[in-house]
């Protein structure tokens, strides 16, 4: 490893593990056909569980990952096992994604496949809260210096392990530099083209036309969702996550307001403009994610606004809120 790479890595990776490093719930592994499905948080001992599954099912050739991360060292060990067994790794934006420690598992694949525009998330490592508390509680400056020295030594060892791992798996450490750009508080999801350029991914599968959330599709979906409320007695099939309570049916006046909204070219054109801006900002990975993150909230917000206007119109003039 060149001195330049080593120096860069020490600056980039500041701590031992990512935000899920304290997870105790192991990931779930299941084999189906030629594919192992990894779901959930990565924890110590997962490598032995995956090895046991591979030993009993030699036809497994592919690892499909869906994990927000977990224990860093466990992730590196899983990745090493994946490379030893010459498994292909797979992620799919918005459906099955590998973030934080799971990104290193993905990098272990001999062939690394991504479907769609994203699927691998990275971030800078950070100082775990328990380490910060331990430092703050030091009773003397000498104790604090010793703790800081200990922490720095452990950090450097972990840093070098990560960079050496990435260099071994990819022959390229640019993804490490990308990680620090994100900081430790926010996950960075490089697009598929960037992942290919950095050698994180070896093969990209494009979405089919019917999977791409373009503005025409999005606008139609939202209008159809709003139109559904014209049916008397209709209630939302998508209860808000906050309280789990579905919105009640609209009154007759409420349905009149919905009908007027849909008949207004100006109102629907304004809606389209707002949706186009949201689509550009959110960049959902596929139509399934767009339904969840754009269609459902847009329909709900529009209906609640129209419901409120209808209820206000039905109130006596002297009861209108100021």
Using alpha carbons only, give the angle 104, 109, 110 rounded to the nearest 5 degrees.
140
Confidence label for 12 from pLDDT (cuts 50, 70 and 90): very low
Angle, in degrees to the nearest 10, between helices 265-282 and 252-263? 80
Q: What pLDDT sits at residue 181?
A: 72
pLDDT in tens, 138-194: 556 666 666 666 666 666 677 788 899 999 999 999 998 888 776 666 788 999 999
Q: Taking the model in full, what pTM does it have?
A: 0.72
> Over pLDDT 90: what percentage of the chain?
64
Does 41 or 145 have the greater pLDDT score? 41
Query: In sequence order, which residues have a C-beta less than 8 Å from that of residue 139 and are 6 or more positions away?
Result: none
Confidence label for 130 from pLDDT (cuts 50, 70 and 90): low
Residue 122 C-alpha from the chain's centroid: 10
pLDDT in tens, 47-69: 999 999 999 999 999 999 999 99
Domains present along the chain, CATH in parentheses: 3-205 (3.90.226.10), 210-319 (no CATH)
Q: What pLDDT sits at residue 240?
A: 59
β-bridge partners, 64: 37, 90
CA terminus-to-terminus distance, the chain: 70
* Minimum mean pLDDT range among 54-68, 118-132, 195-209, 301-315: 118-132
Q: Read off the tokens for 246.
A: 């579905």
Confidence label for 247 from pLDDT (cuts 50, 70 and 90): confident
Does 182 or 128 have the greater pLDDT score? 182
β-bridge partners, 28: 39
Average pLDDT of the chain is: 84
Confidence label for 20 from pLDDT (cuts 50, 70 and 90): very low
């Amino acid at each position: 490893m060149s001195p330049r790479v080593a120096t860069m890595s020490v600056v980039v990776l500041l701590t031992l593990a990512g935000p899920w490093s304290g997870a105790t719930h192991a990931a779930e592994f299941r084999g189906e056909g030629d594919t192992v499905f990894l779901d959930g948080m990565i924890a110590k001992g997962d490598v032995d569980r995956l090895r046991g599954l591979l030993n009993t099912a030699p036809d497994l050739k592919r690892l499909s990952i869906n994990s927000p991360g977990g224990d860093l060292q466990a992730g590196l060990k899983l990745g090493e096992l994946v490379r030893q067994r010459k498994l292909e790794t797979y992620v799919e934006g918005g459906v099955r994604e590998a973030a934080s420690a799971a990104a290193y598992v993905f990098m272990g694949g001999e062939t690394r496949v991504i479907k769609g525009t994203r699927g691998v998330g990275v971030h800078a490592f950070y100082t775990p809260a328990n380490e910060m508390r331990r430092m703050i509680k030091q009773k003397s400056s000498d104790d604090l210096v010793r703790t800081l020295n200990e922490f720095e030594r452990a950090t450097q060892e972990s840093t070098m392990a990560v960079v050496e791992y990435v260099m071994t798996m990819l022959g390229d450490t640019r993804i490490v530099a990308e990680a620090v750009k994100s900081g430790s508080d926010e996950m960075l999801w490089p697009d598929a083209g960037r992942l290919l350029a950095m050698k994180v991914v070896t093969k990209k599968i494009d979405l089919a036309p019917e999977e791409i959330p373009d503005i025409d599709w999005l606008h139609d979906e939202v209008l159809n969702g709003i139109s559904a409320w014209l049916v008397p007695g209709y209630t939302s099939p998508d209860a808000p996550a906050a309280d789990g309570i579905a919105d009640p049916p609209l009154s007759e006046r409420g349905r009149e307001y919905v009908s007027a909204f849909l008949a207004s070219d100006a109102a629907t054109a304004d809606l389209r403009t707002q949706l186009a801006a949201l689509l550009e900002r959110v960049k959902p990975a596929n139509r399934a994610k767009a339904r969840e993150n754009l269609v459902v909230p847009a329909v709900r917000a529009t209906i609640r606004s129209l419901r409120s206007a209808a209820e206000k119109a039905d109130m006596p003039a002297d009861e209108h809120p100021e």
